[in-house]
A and B are shown apart, each in its own frame.
Chain A
């Protein structure tokens, strides 16, 4: 039968060493539309914030771009729902579920590890915390980071995913 392959399935052991795990096959719908339409849909308008929950979260990516993240398999339904809701607005709804791998990073040092490569302020004293997200770099890889309660999600293009794991491992090694 047709079994999909998660981009980091073969790095599971390394991820465990990092107190991390891959969250495979999440549905990820990229929405581009104007602020009015976004407000109507309940999308977050404050930059770099997240609305919703783990079942369906909406991440602010830019002034006219959001990522609607949901449980595996829900992509086509969410896509159709959003397209219907945006009928009549100038909008683009694109299924990008397989366009990014997702790493769930835990452990008290996770933000320190990310700070070896992310130039943005990931310090809770600077306002970073659950409900925040940002598109940034980790080393030379473009990433989208989302803070959860006691965990951080890293969204990264599958082709860069191993690089991110390798760089996290290198950072953890220098640290220890």
Chain B
């Protein structure tokens, strides 16, 4: 315990004490402390144990390069592992030592709120040293928007604590990554919340400074071995003396200002200047440095009592951000390290210490010794000089390979203190020149950042992903709908009465449609207006069947294929005029279909005169279906003639429904007589209620997606994406009738004649009827030939894609994709279930009203 707080000095505010807890014990610090400075002030030497060897580890640095002192923060916000110098002390902080590997607690934990902000500036300066401030000042004077970010709590090059006139300054703000075209992501740590800034800058200036480098010697990981500049910072900025009897070691030891030390009551008990042939050979001590072994130019040895070794190994420019965006390095002999070689994107500049504006140094990376197995190179990975040399002895030459063999540079600090040292040890061991190869590359993020911080506001059930609601959503809530997620949409799944379960509610809803009338909110279907003289020809190329000969006022079902010939989406096309169609898509496929239309029009067929406009949300769609649908619609009030002859199946009419302009379509996804009422979305709630008001005497029921799925499956209608998985051709689905190869080319046509598309034994859509009329097969159930499951691999015939109880039929049934399925109709195969198999019959997929007698009422 030799660290202590000084009576005066530093940027801390001694009038504002802060109480915090570390490893279960309470301590006091001050406003302006970091956790590292507060622990040093309280004489806490050991912050954590090393991850592999379990050796005691203390604070080595005062910044983001920290390779040794890692903690988990539990309160007020959870952070799994963070360097102690990067934790600003706040009231109520609870932390504990955590060797460089974090862990997530089993229970949910509080994460710090965060928000994302976007900013555009002409000049972004990263780092607030003198050079960074100068660049910012000059740019601001030109009238530019200038943002300066500094990862420390205060500006490095300004005693004033504020930036130049006209410069916006963010402190506690670390650039996580620099990306193409001046896009920079910055994590700004605030007391209450974090801000992730997404900055687009015309010019990015890296004034990122330099990291002091360590020197390896025996037991150089013992608490009390600290970087020389860090010792100075703890005294000057935090009023903390990390040790009183100091050994100064390195090539540049004068950096430690002796007057600072004298005022603080400390002394330098020995200086080991490598230029004079002196070096620190090792340390002794229980949990921290108590004695230091020195070795002289003639091999002479000396031991001094000391509690702190200040190591000044020279400086490495901080070029992690620069290299990750493509900047190159060159070796500088005077600095004995790597500096920018002037390459990199044109909008990026490197200035100041980062550009190599540094005092000269010498290449001295470790104190020679017989035993190098306690000369630590990467403290977080517990890797030593001996480990590096063993990798070289094993035949590795590239530092990239050595990195992967030793894991040096793969920990949280990404080798900020160990990377160049490792490269030079390898270069020397191989007999290569110094600087023959440089350090391995660091990648964004520059410091660890939590997913919660990156997510910003985009978390929680409402904001993680948009929740899209239909115009009639409030009405569905009022009717007690249970919702399901369909893509981003909330759709009513069923509408339970009282304490009905789903099975009972769905059975009731299905029977309402089969025997009376049901109403479905189909507003989520994608809708696109396709307009222009070439619209008919264009749609002929997009769908497998012909749309150009569709009569105005009529509707046709269509399939779209991928270029691989597999079913991609389906819907109907309505011909509004000679040069105008409205096509519908599946709920989930709306954006993809419009994208595909635009892609083909813009990239392949720009000569086609066609414009597409999304009108998905222009229209609310209310589908009234069932034998009583006509009577319901008549009672709702319409000027349309609803009789079959005047308004036949697969046509639409424009008219008035419930007092508003509407387009009514005779299409049916249930097999029953159906009218789809399309009205402007703001009229949807009114018309929806009007249907129920009129339908009351007919017993009209709202029905949800689950009943809709049952009803369509009873008719053998597929749902793209449920019964198909991107590997089904139209013929596989028994829909070869919809492919018209004589009409000219269309998307996917060529793939339909590939040998694999026409081979026998492809999976085909069939119906499945379990022998047990009450057995509901789980969707995804594998179907096999025999009633016993043999030794693996068990040959699979196919799988169940949809499975329901049919209230109309009185038994369960399923749709399935089965190899050569159509030839198996009438045969019994077996469903593989947990605990055994169950016999099922293969049937035609149409279970209900095969002759189609019900669609006209």
A positions within 8 Å CB-CB of B: 1-7, 10, 24-25, 30, 32, 64, 90-92, 94-100, 112, 115-123, 125-126, 139-141, 157-160, 162-163, 166-167, 170-171, 174-175
Give the complex CA separation of A79 and B618 in angstroms.
15
Q: Which of A123, A159, A163 contacts B145 (CB 8 A)?
A: A123
Chain A nearest CB, measured from B574 CB (Å): 14
Asked if residues A116 and B660 are in contact (CB atoms below 8 Å), the reply is no
Please determine whether A170 and B469 come into contact, CB atoms closer than 8 angstroms.
no
The residue from B465, B466, B613 contacting A32, defined by CB atoms under 8 A apart: B613
Q: With a CB–CB cut-off of 8 A, which chain B residues contact A123?
A: 119-120, 145
- Chain B residues with CB under 8 A of A170: 457, 463
> Contacting A158 at CB < 8 Å: which of B457, B465, B466, B471?
B471
Q: Produce 1/0 per residue, B206-227, CB < 8 A to A.
A: 0000000000000000000000
With contacts A4-B680, A7-B681, A166-B463 known, is A116 near B457, CB below 8 A?
Answer: yes
- A163 touching B466, Cβ below 8 Å: yes
The answer to whether A118 and B613 touch (CB under 8 A), given A5-B686, A98-B682, A159-B470, is: no
Known A-B contacts A2-B659, A163-B463, A174-B113; A96 and B615 likewise in contact (beta carbons under 8 Å): yes
Task: Check if A5 sits within 8 Å of B457, measured CB to CB.
Answer: no
Interface centre among B193, B457, B474 (most CB of A within 10 A): B457
**Distance of A100 Cα from B682 Cα, bound (Å):** 10
Out of A99, A167, A171, which one reaches B615, CB within 8 Å? A99
Bound Cα distance A162, B473 (Å) = 12
Q: Complex formed: what's the CA distance from A82 to B779 in Å?
A: 52
Q: In the complex, which residue of chain B has the Cβ closest to the Cβ of A95?
A: B618
What are 22 sample pairs from A and B whose C-beta atoms fall under 8 A apart?
A: A2-B658, A2-B660, A2-B686, A4-B682, A32-B611, A90-B609, A92-B613, A96-B615, A98-B617, A99-B614, A99-B618, A115-B118, A121-B120, A139-B463, A159-B469, A160-B468, A162-B467, A166-B462, A171-B457, A174-B113, A174-B114, A174-B457
B117 contacts the other chain (Cβ, under 8 Å)?
yes
Give bound CA distance, A148 to B399, whole Å. 58
The reply to whether B615 and A139 form a contact with Cβ atoms under 8 Å apart is no
Q: Given the known A-B contacts A5-B686, A98-B617, A159-B617, are A139 and B457 also in contact in the complex, defined by CB atoms under 8 Å?
A: yes
Shortest B530–chain A CB gap in Å is: 9
Nearest A residue to B682, CB-CB: A4
- B682 near A5 with CB under 8 A, answer yes
* B625 located at the interface, meaning its Cβ lies under 8 Å from any Cβ of chain A in the complex: no
B613 touches A25 (CB 8 A): no
> In the complex, are the beta carbons of B115 and A116 less than 8 A apart?
yes
Chain A residues whose C-beta falls within 8 Å of the C-beta of B457 in the assembled complex:
116-117, 139, 167, 170-171, 174
The answer, among B198, B531, B616, B685, for a CB contact under 8 Å with A94, is: B531
Contact: B533 with A159, CB < 8 Å? no
Interface presence of B267 (CB below 8 A)? no
The CA-CA distance from A141 to B463 in the complex, in Å, is 10
Q: How far is the CA of A97 from the CA of B683 in the complex (A)?
A: 12
A171 vs B117: C-alpha distance in the bound complex, in angstroms?
Answer: 10
Q: Is the CB of B467 within 8 A of A158?
A: no
Interface presence of B532 (CB below 8 A): yes
| Contact of A159 with B468 at beta-carbon distance under 8 Å, contacts A98-B682, A125-B145 already known | yes
Residue ID in chain A nearest B679 by CB atoms: A98
Least CB separation from B115: chain A residue: A174
- Measured between C-beta atoms, what is the minimum distance from A67 to chain B in Å? 11
Given contacts A116-B116, A170-B463, contact A98 B659 (CB under 8 A): no
Closest A residue to B144 using CB positions: A125
CB neighbours (8 Å) of B686 from chain A are 2-5
CA distance A116 to B168 in the complex (A): 18
Closest to A24 in B: B682
Contact B617 A157 (CB under 8 A): yes
Q: Indicate whether B684 reaches chain A with its CB closer than 8 angstroms.
A: yes
Contact with A along B304-330 (1 / 0, CB 8 A): 000000000000000000000000000
How far apart are the CA atoms of A117 and B532 in the complex, in Å? Answer: 36
**A116-B116, A121-B200, A140-B465 known; A94+B615 contact, CB < 8 A:** yes
Q: What residues on B are CB-neighbors of A6 within 8 Å? A: 682
Residues from chain A with Cβ under 8 Å of B683 in the complex: 2, 4-5, 98
A153 to chain B, nearest CB (A): 17
B615: which A residues are within 8 A, CB to CB? 94, 96, 99
Q: With an 8 A cutoff between CB atoms, is B811 at the interface?
A: no
> What's the Cα separation between A139 and B118 when bound, in Å?
11
State whether B684 touches A5 (Cβ < 8 A). yes
Q: What 7 pairs across the A-B complex have the smallest Cβ distances?
A: A92-B611, A92-B531, A159-B468, A121-B120, A2-B659, A98-B680, A32-B611
Contacts of A5 in B (CB 8 A): 471, 682-686
A1 and B659 within 8 A (CB): yes
In the complex, what residues of A have CB within 8 A of residue B177's CB?
none
Minimum Cβ distance to chain B for residue A161 (Å): 9
Q: Is the CB of B466 within 8 A of A139?
A: yes
Task: Tell whether, in the assembled complex, residue A99 and residue B463 are in contact, meaning their CB atoms are under 8 Å apart.
Answer: no
Contact of A163 among B114, B116, B198, B462 (CB under 8 A): B462
Using A25-B682, A30-B613, A116-B457 as known contacts, say yes or no to A140 and B198 having CB atoms under 8 A apart.
no
Q: Does B489 contact A (CB under 8 A)?
A: yes
Whole-angstrom distance from the CB of B65 to the nearest CB of chain A?
31
Residue of A nearest to B685 (CB): A5
Known A10-B474, A117-B457, A159-B468; judge A94-B613 contact (CB<8 A): yes
Which chain A residue has the least Cβ–Cβ distance from B462? A166
B458 at the interface (CB under 8 A from A): yes
Q: Does B529 contact A (CB under 8 A)?
A: yes
Considering only CB atoms, which chain A residue lies closest to B470 in the complex?
A159
Could you tell me if B617 and A94 are in contact, using CB atoms closer than 8 angstroms?
A: no
Contact with A along B781-811 (1 / 0, CB 8 A): 0000000000000000000000000000000
Neighbouring B residues of A117 by C-beta, 8 Å:
116, 118, 457
B118–A118 touching, CB < 8 Å: yes
In whole angstroms, what is the CA distance A125 to B609 when docked? Answer: 40
Report the minimum CB–CB distance from A98 to chain B (whole Å): 4
**Known contacts A10-B474, A140-B465, A166-B463; is A100 also within 8 Å of B617 by CB?**
yes
Residues of B within 8 Å of A95, CB to CB, are 618
Q: Looking across the interface, which residue of chain A has its beta carbon closest to that of B614?
A: A99
| CB atoms of A171 and B468 under 8 A apart | no
Contact of A162 among B118, B465, B469, B682 (CB under 8 A): B469
Contacting A at CB under 8 A, from B614-669, are 614-619, 658-660
Complex interface: chain A residues within 8 A of B516 (CB): none
Residues of A within 8 A of B658 (CB): 2
The smallest beta-carbon distance between B813 and chain A, in angstroms, is 34
Residue among A91, A94, A140, A175 facing the most chain B CB atoms (10 A cut-off): A94
Give complex CA distance A5, B117 in Å. Answer: 34
State A115–B619 Cα separation when bound (angstroms): 31
Residues of B within 8 A of A118 (CB): 118
Given contacts A92-B532, A140-B458, contact A163 B467 (CB under 8 A): yes
- B216 to chain A minimum Cβ distance, whole angstroms, is 45
B100 within 8 A of A: no
Contacts of B613 in A (CB 8 A): 30, 32, 92, 94, 96
Known contacts A7-B471, A92-B532, A140-B458, A158 near B617 by CB under 8 Å: yes
What separation, in Å, do the CA atoms of A117 and B466 have in the docked complex? Answer: 13
Cα–Cα distance between A117 and B611 once the two chains are bound (Å): 30
**Chain B: CB-nearest residue to A33:** B611
Given the complex of chains A and B, what is the CA–CA distance between A7 and B473 in angstroms?
10
